Amino acid sequence: MAITNSTIQGKVGNAIFYRVGRTSRVRSMPAGYLDANTLQQQENRSRLRVATRFYQCLAETVLRDAWKVAVGESGVNGFNFFMKVNMMVFRPDGKIGDFSRLQLAVGMMQKVDHLAAMVGDDDTVTLTWENGPNLPSARVDDSLVVVVLYGNRSFTPVFVEINGATRGDGKATFRLERKRGTAAHLYCFFREKEGKAYSGSQYIRI
């Protein structure tokens, strides 16, 4: 913006002349028009809607609690943190783009080592893992939580019954409920017995 002695008002070339009180001023035109409805912006808005719909499926579950605990007193709410971590995992067409990148739980508690799964003929799954020695953020009585997203209903988190398995057990067994050929995406994490802390989820596809 500049001040001028000219009495011109209006647009002249790339300049706009206007008056403020008794003073004439001039400013340049905007460099260009920014379209707020580009294809990328449309896709981002669609992706946000998809991610929001998925987060709403976590209501009243331990997953929602994990995100609330993760933000603590930071002033950021669990929903916003979930979006920051996961929004780009979702596709504008309403699907999950990469299940392995999806984080269903986050936290400061230690993850386990060498998490593995073996599947029997009757779809019984045996999870095994190892615990590192002397980990300050891990306790043997931390509860194991396993959430399954089936490929044909990936927006319906299923909590597996694991009969009270804990970190110290190093093993857990459960059975999947799916049609033959349906992918099962497992998200495994640990919860402090009073729900005050969580580990990040670890992913296995079966």
pLDDT of residue 3: 52
Write out the two tokens for 63.
């997953």
Average pLDDT over residues 42-68: 92
pLDDT at 1 > cutoff 60? no
Predicted confidence at residue 84, as pLDDT, reads 95
Render pLDDT for 93-103 as a digit per residue (tens, 0 to 9). Answer: 999 999 999 99
Per-residue model confidence (pLDDT) at position 33 = 53
* pTM of structure: 0.80
In this predicted structure, what is the pLDDT of residue 194? 93
Q: What is the pLDDT of residue 32?
A: 60
Q: Among the residues of 13-137, which ranges form H helices?
A: 39-56, 62-71, 78-86
